Amino acid sequence: MKKILKHTWKIIRYNLGGLLLFETGYRILTFFFTLRLVKMAIEISLSRQGFSYLTAENYGAFIKSPWTVCLFLGVFLILFFFFLIEISALLLGFHHAGRKRKLYGGDFLMEGIKGAVRFLRQGKPIWIFWAALAVPFLSVYFLVREASYVGLLEFTAREIYGKVKPPALLGILLAAGMVLSLWAVLALPYTLLEREKSFRGLFRGIGLLKKRWREILGSFLLLYVLIAAAGAAFYILTTLGMTGAVMAFKPEDGKISSVLMGREYIQMAMGVFTGGVQMTGTLAFAYTIYSRFRKSEVKEAPIWDLVQNYRWLSKLGKRKAATFFTLLLVILEGGYLTAAAVSHDAMLESLNADTKITAHRGGALRAPENTLSALAYTWECGADFAEIDVQETKDKQLILLHDDSLKRITGLDRNVWELTYEEIKELDAGSSFGKEYQGERIPALEEVLNFCLGRLDLNIEIKYNGKNEGIVQSVVQVIRENDFEEHCVVTSMNYRFLEQIKAIAPEIRTGYIMTMRYGSISQTEAADFFSVRYDYISESFVREAHALGKEVHAWTVNYRGNIKRLLDMGVDNIITDDPALVRRVQERENGTKTGFPELLQYGFGI
């Protein structure tokens, strides 16, 4: 075990300086290029399909469109070529290290490009497939971590998870896929470094692995423990350093915001750094296994003449010029990130808002959701609004219920449209929350309006389930009959519902609920505000909405760091399970000193 890891570290260390320079510049560049490429693909597909924006409502049509399929296939092919360059650069770099040949950062780049082009020109689809199959295992941490920066990918992952039943099946499929991907990783040295490729060579290597599987598996697991430790050390040290710098150099009223902003950049860098360490360590391990177990008669692919790599740069100093340009790339990227952080910080300081507080699902933190008890708690804790969910029963009565099914709340596995109001009134909606709420009933909307009038304003979300086409007219009628127009807003994920409301009751304020946000919101005349999942909200979106004369409501926000960030962005309303927490953050006195331990809590997301 120790011998394998020792040899792995030896081939990494031999060209460590050039390796670090290449990986840093290449990973940062490809990361930002990937974000931009995916955004462009989404915008082009939206434009071709005639959509001005993308959210959950039109997601299905968008994702199935031939434009989306073709564009994202093109994105994948481009990113796969970048992946080939990186793995070729690393494996060829380890190959040179094994022969005691020094490489600069520019050498890695040129070797990677030539290796990738040579591999593709061989024209053997099965080996290209095997290389593509290695992507999940080599990039699993990077893909999971950075998917949060591409909202469409994160939303798609959640949709897949929600549709696969039972969820354990998805776990089994993913585990099997990762095992297959690991096999492809161990095959990469054969596919990229050997001139003559055959499955016989591949299975010969696998056969050799079987003989020492305990030693190899133990070494591999230990390697990943070390990679995880390196990632944890990077996160802790950078967070401590960033927090210390903020404590020393930032004014008191901007310290928390600066730490929260810095935390975002550290989390972004965490994915890039740990992803690079994972790929480098894994490929070095795979190359170590390959070099120790392969047969001596295997014909190697030609090792490029490093001097010939830079003939076109001979006047600039050959390798040193290439290294200079690689270093310049890293410096420019670092400057870009610094400038973005400074401008981002300045934008935060320029934004301010008298932000309202809305209790999620009527006030579900201390009492059963969407009940009178929850609304009573919301009123007592001083929230400005309570958000409630409205559904329609079999006999067209309006009740408060979030899910289509009654099972989670009452234990009865029936859909709301299958039962009458009289039947639903008999169900217990409180016992699942706590014994003290046993007997709590699902209230009717009219009952709730009477309870809240003069006490609490409401955010009434109309749920769409495909069986309640006439629900908008019923909701408007109940609101008008109870003189509640000035004390509520009506929201929905179904934009057509909002258009219906504006057609029959233009005096009622409406909000469009968006689970993700791409494209332009300028054509959403039926919405007076946008209710957006908090991690899809940016300063630019807030400015765009405010320029249109519309508000931004953020849901569902329960961590104080996110609350502070959204307040700094200038959102108009925060929807939360804990209104008291939002009020405490909101009412924090200006000039109150923030100690280093408290800043660290924000930095680490505690």
For residue 336, the SS3 value is: helix
Rounded to 10 degrees, the C-alpha dihedral 500/506/509/514 comes to 30
Closest CA to 281 of 219, 334, 237, 238: 219
Give the model confidence (pLDDT) of 75-121 as tens digits.
Answer: 999 999 999 999 999 999 999 998 888 888 888 888 899 889 988 88
pLDDT at 206: 67
Q: How confident is the model at residue 306 (pLDDT cuts 50, 70, 90)?
A: very low
| Active-site residue, from 7, 95, 96, 360 | 360
Model confidence, pTM: 0.78
* Residues 69 and 153 grouped into a single domain: yes
Is it the case that residue 316 has pLDDT exceeding 50?
Answer: no
344 is catalytic: no
96 is catalytic: no
* Residues 277 and 160 grouped into a single domain: yes
Q: Report the distance separating Cα 286 and Cα 88, nearest Å.
A: 13
More confident site: 402 or 198? 402
pLDDT at 5: 86
Tokens 């079999």 -> residue: 394
Is it the case that residue 443 has pLDDT exceeding 90?
Answer: yes
More confident site: 396 or 200? 396
* Residues 90 and 239 grouped into a single domain: yes
More confident site: 385 or 352? 385
Q: Report the distance separating Cα 394 and Cα 468, nearest Å.
A: 10
Cα–Cα distance list, 99 to 90, 92, 286, 293, 296 (Å)? 14, 11, 17, 17, 15
Average pLDDT over residues 220-242: 90
Give the model confidence (pLDDT) of 403-425 as tens digits.
Answer: 999 999 999 999 999 999 999 99
Number of domains in the chain: 2
Average pLDDT of the chain, as a whole number: 84
Over its C-alpha atoms, the chain yields an Rg (Å, rounded) of 29
pLDDT at 472: 96
* Residues 426 and 515 grouped into a single domain: yes
Closest CA to 549 of 495, 518, 578, 509: 509
Closest CA to 400 of 449, 469, 433: 449
| Active-site residue, from 7, 96, 402, 553 | 402
* Residues 245 and 157 grouped into a single domain: yes
Which among 312, 334, 350 is the end of a domain? 350
Average pLDDT over residues 221-228: 88
Q: How confident is the model at residue 204 (pLDDT cuts 50, 70, 90)?
A: low
Give the model confidence (pLDDT) of 251-278 as tens digits.
Answer: 777 788 888 888 888 888 887 888 888 8
Tokens 């709590």 -> residue: 440
Determine which of 277-281, 413-417, 464-468, 498-502 has the lowest per-residue pLDDT on average. 464-468
pLDDT at 529: 95
* Residues 326 and 471 grouped into a single domain: no
Give the model confidence (pLDDT) of 538-549 as tens digits.
Answer: 888 999 999 999
* Helical ranges in 122-212 per DSSP H: 125-133, 135-146, 151-163, 167-193, 199-211
Is it the case that residue 311 has pLDDT exceeding 50?
Answer: no
Phi and psi dihedrals of 603, rounded to 5? -60, -40
Polymer length in residues for the chain: 606
pLDDT at 589: 45
* Residues 326 and 463 grouped into a single domain: no
Tokens 């990186």 -> residue: 86
User: What's the CATH number where 386 sits?
Assistant: 3.20.20.190
* Residues 471 and 516 grouped into a single domain: yes
Which tokens go with 602? Answer: 């924000």
Sign of the four-CA dihedral 362, 367, 371, 374:
negative
Is it the case that residue 324 has pLDDT exceeding 60?
Answer: no
pLDDT at 503: 95
Give the model confidence (pLDDT) of 9-66 as tens digits.
Answer: 999 999 888 898 888 888 888 888 888 888 899 889 988 998 888 888 888 889 999 9
Determine which of 25-29, 198-202, 304-308, 548-552 has the lowest per-residue pLDDT on average. 304-308
Determine which of 510-524, 533-547, 591-605 has the lowest per-residue pLDDT on average. 591-605
* Residues 481 and 569 grouped into a single domain: yes
Q: How confident is the model at residue 297 (pLDDT cuts 50, 70, 90)?
A: very low
Q: Report the distance separating Cα 45 and Cα 79, nearest Å.
A: 18
Which among 350, 375, 409 is the end of a domain? 350
Q: Report the distance separating Cα 491 and Cα 514, nearest Å.
A: 10
Average pLDDT over residues 300-328: 49
Query: What DSSP string runs through 528-575?
Result: SEEEEEGGG--HHHHHHHHHTT-EEEEE---SHHHHHHHHHHT-SEEE
Which tokens go with 426? Answer: 């008999």
Give the model confidence (pLDDT) of 278-288 as tens digits.
Answer: 899 999 998 98
Percent of the residues in the chain that have a pLDDT greater than 70, as a whole number: 84
* Residues 368 and 343 grouped into a single domain: no
Is it the case that residue 373 has pLDDT exceeding 50?
Answer: yes
Residue 483 — left, alpha, or beta (φ > 0 → left; ψ -120 to 50 → alpha)? left
Q: Report the distance separating Cα 132 and Cα 184, nearest Å.
A: 8
pLDDT at 590: 44
Average pLDDT over residues 567-582: 92
For residue 459, the SS3 value is: strand
Which among 306, 332, 350 is the end of a domain? 350
* Residues 427 and 533 grouped into a single domain: yes
Most confident of 140-149, 150-159, 330-339, 584-593: 150-159
**The pairing of beta strand 509-514 with beta strand 518-519:** unpaired
Q: Report the distance separating Cα 445 and Cα 524, nearest Å.
A: 27
More confident site: 373 or 203? 373
* Residues 298 and 385 grouped into a single domain: no
Which residues span the domain enclosing 573?
A: 356-604
Which tokens go with 14? Answer: 């031999």
